[in-house]
Chain A
Amino acid sequence: MKRKIAMALVAVMSLSLLNGCGGDAKKSDSASEGAATSGIFSGELEENVTIQVLENDTAISKGYFSQLIEAFNKEYEQYGITAVDANMDQYLDLANDGPYGYGPDVLYQANDVIMQYAQGKHILPLPVEKLDSYSQIPEAAWQAYMVSVDGNTYTCGVPVNVQAPMLYYRKDLLPEDWKESWDANSNDIPDMIEDWKNMYDFSVQRHQENPSQYGYMKSLYDVYFSSGFLFSYGGYIFGDNNTNPEDIGFAAGDSAKGAWILSQLAGIMNEDCIDDTITTNAYSKLADGTYFATLSTPDTYSTFYDELVNEYVGQGLNQEEAQKKAEENLVMTGLPKLPESGNLTEDNPKLVDSKTMGGVNGYAISSYTKYPNACLAFVNFATSYEMIMLRNETLGIAPAREDVASDLGGLSEAMYEELDKGNIVLMPSIKEVSQIWTPGQTFFTDLAKDAFRSEAEKKYKDLDSMEAGLEDMCNQIHDAIYTLE
């Protein structure tokens, strides 16, 4: 019996040893690659290679990505470098798949995602000053990709476009007499687009006229969109320019007023604002006229547009007429101003700028790539003036390049200015940011639910209770960061 047990133990131990050998070999490979990043970008292109590029789904479905790789492959044909679609889920798991060689070489992601990979050393620090776009991209956008290690600062991504909440509305859903009734300052811009007080009043009126229709609609539970209301009144994410997770600032300043604004807006919506229903159905509900306005990011413009075209085609227009009408009527613009008091029913309020949470999407190079110089050449090509301009034309993004933004003018330039002015608060690039979402969702969900509770059951009756709720949320974030450390 003892002999059998001994034999079994020997077998198990032998297998464990074999397994251990395999795993370590991989790890030491990746570690040595990570350690040698400084000498990786020699400038000598690896020839006759294929690099895998992961783009976002919208860029692929709208055909921009195929144009990009076609143009790149033509340009670098002489070196035999070919870029191909990585053909993976856009929400990949580089940390788990990369070390085993199953990740892309170049990836396009939001700055918070890239910087979390950077902290795990899954992303290469880049010699960004060698890129043609370096001088054209503002410092604020570069900062989103900077990480400090042992006193040295590294840049791990190249900004492509700025993401921030934008107001989408339908011009053809404005009241016929809006120039007389909803343009007090006669500047040809509807008042409800200029400030939230008028948006609130218009939403109340629209719903009263037809109970199945609403004015402004947006899921409150979404921290990305809702936290901007807190920032407008002095709130922030982390202290020291979003680098100090000890200092969590969602309850700072008068941010309770921002919570009050959200609570009042919940009152003009329906219970769908409690979860992500509105975020999901806004495309079709804006198209069928149930909603007048909503918030979304610039990269969803084409989805709103396609839904509206389908709606017009359904109403009997041909494709060309429907597209023209959709272009005229679907408007994406900046956020309305907020009343300084936080009271949406106050007459003639003093107004303050709306701040929003934003992000910078860009390209990064995987630490596990075998062809870093070819990848860098691709990133340089994809962030050139022509490609960013084409990206804007195809996808309607707000470019991070100053020259493209100023040539495009209009919204792109305005968004660029908002970034410069600090009205777009970029998502922190430290790993602790991943802990803000769940406590944030809990608070905003509770706040949205409060609008549908009876008076006796309401939890957030005044500014003090809202401030207490925000402080609770900050404590939960703090606990999550330091408990899970």
Chain B
Amino acid sequence: MMKKHSFGKAFDVAWTYALLIVVGFIFFFPCLWIVLASFSKSGSIYSFEGFFPTTYSIDTFKKLFTDTTMYNYPRWFFNTLFVAAGSCILGTFLTILTAYTMSRFEFRARKPMMKTTMVLGMFPSFMGMTAVYILMTQFGLINQIWGLILIYAAGAPMGYLTQKGFFDTIPKAIDEAAKIDGANSAQIFWKINLPLSKPIIVYTALTSFTWPWSDFILPKLLLKEKDLYTVAVGLMSLDETEFSRFAAGSVFIAVPIVIL
């Protein structure tokens, strides 16, 4: 009886692992393919035999960082890092403040504002792209990296609901206790609630970083000069004969996200 039970359990575990490996491989395969393609020596997707390159070399990665006459990848990488880091810091700050305000303070416009942001959040962001472009021309923020950071950071608080949910779980009794001890609202926020909110701050910072890191539409719309391109826009501008450079650029851009 015991033996039969352990056999069934082993079969169940083996079957589960086999299924997970197959599913994992299906999702991993495109990543593996792009990594191998980035090491292709020929540079052309058409020289592959079946799925994989025929010869391998690290020349493409060298070219990516040294041959910058037409495609200045290091500059694009720095631009992307600057935009993502700037949006991350500013966006996280604004989102946390918004969520905290909505969670902790009672004011007349609170409910209407929550409803309005919820409805606005249902519209896809690219609906407003034309308006954004015209506004940015009026402010002189086309071809400005800061323009991008401002838009990302200003849009970030729209997704404050997750953070508000987190703040709602912190008992208000703690705030009241601090108030009795003489703390004002700012002190309660900085010294009591913020240290308790590290997990949600990390989550907010990560999502605020990854969105600008991989976004294409907004930088394509606002950045006209090649030296200001982000990696996503730059890679899309590569010539059709530069496939392995595209693959190498795509692989390298994933490095910071993987580290994070």
Interface residues of A (CB under 8 A from B): 19, 22-23, 26, 57, 60-61, 87-89, 92, 97, 100, 102, 280-281, 283-285, 288, 303, 307, 310, 314
Other than the known A87-B227, A89-B237, what 17 A-B pairs have Cβ atoms closer than 8 Å?
A: A57-B70, A88-B224, A88-B225, A88-B226, A89-B226, A102-B143, A102-B224, A280-B241, A281-B45, A283-B241, A284-B46, A284-B47, A285-B46, A288-B47, A303-B241, A307-B44, A307-B241
Closest residue to A97 on the B side, CB-wise? B224
A224 to chain B, nearest CB (A): 16
Q: Contacts of A60 on B, CB cut-off 8 Å?
A: 69-70
Contact A284 B42 (CB under 8 A): yes
Closest residue to A280 on the B side, CB-wise? B240
Does more than half of chain B's interface fall in helix, strand or loop, or is it mixed?
A: loop
Closest residue to B241 on the A side, CB-wise? A283
In the assembled complex, the Cα of A102 lies from the Cα of B222 at a distance in Å of: 10
Those 7 A-B pairs whose CB atoms lie nearest each other, nearest first:
A281-B46, A284-B44, A100-B137, A61-B70, A87-B226, A22-B138, A87-B225
Using an 8 Å CB-CB cutoff, how does the interface string of B8-47 with A read, 1 for contact, 0 for none?
Answer: 0000000000000000000000000000000001111111
Interface residues on chain B, size class:
20 to 34
Closest residue to A18 on the B side, CB-wise? B138
In the assembled complex, the Cα of A92 lies from the Cα of B142 at a distance in Å of: 15
Q: Contacts of A19 on B, CB cut-off 8 Å?
A: 134, 138
Interface residues of B (CB under 8 A from A): 41-47, 55, 69-70, 134, 137-138, 142-143, 224-227, 237, 239-241
User: What are 10 A-B contacts defined by CB distance under 8 Å?
Assistant: A60-B69, A61-B69, A87-B226, A89-B224, A100-B137, A100-B142, A284-B46, A284-B241, A310-B43, A314-B55
Choose among B44, B55, B70, B226 the residue that contacts A281 (Cβ–Cβ < 8 A).
Answer: B44
Closest residue to B136 on the A side, CB-wise? A100
Given contacts A284-B44, A284-B46, A288-B47, is CB(A57)–CB(B224) below 8 Å?
no
Closest residue to A104 on the B side, CB-wise? B224
Q: Contacts of B237 on A, CB cut-off 8 Å?
A: 89
Does more than half of chain A's interface fall in helix, strand or loop, or is it mixed?
A: helix
Q: Contacts of B70 on A, CB cut-off 8 Å?
A: 57, 60-61
Q: Contacts of B45 on A, CB cut-off 8 Å?
A: 281
A236 to chain B, nearest CB (A): 31
Contact B224 A283 (CB under 8 A): no
In the assembled complex, the Cα of A59 lies from the Cα of B201 at a distance in Å of: 49
Q: Contacts of A26 on B, CB cut-off 8 Å?
A: 137
Contact B239 A57 (CB under 8 A): yes
Closest residue to B138 on the A side, CB-wise? A22
Given contacts A87-B226, A89-B226, A102-B143, is CB(A23)–CB(B47) below 8 Å?
no
Closest residue to B139 on the A side, CB-wise? A22
In the assembled complex, the Cα of A89 lies from the Cα of B134 at a distance in Å of: 20
A114 to chain B, nearest CB (A): 19
In the assembled complex, the Cα of A26 lies from the Cα of B138 at a distance in Å of: 10
A120 to chain B, nearest CB (A): 18
Closest residue to B239 on the A side, CB-wise? A57
Contact B227 A283 (CB under 8 A): no
A4 to chain B, nearest CB (A): 10
Q: Contacts of B134 on A, CB cut-off 8 Å?
A: 19, 23
B217 to chain A, nearest CB (A): 15
Closest residue to B45 on the A side, CB-wise? A281
In the assembled complex, the Cα of A288 lies from the Cα of B48 at a distance in Å of: 12
Closest residue to B47 on the A side, CB-wise? A284
In the assembled complex, the Cα of A350 lies from the Cα of B64 at a distance in Å of: 53
Q: Contacts of B142 on A, CB cut-off 8 Å?
A: 100, 102
In the assembled complex, the Cα of A415 lies from the Cα of B43 at a distance in Å of: 33
In the assembled complex, the Cα of A288 lies from the Cα of B224 at a distance in Å of: 37
A85 to chain B, nearest CB (A): 9
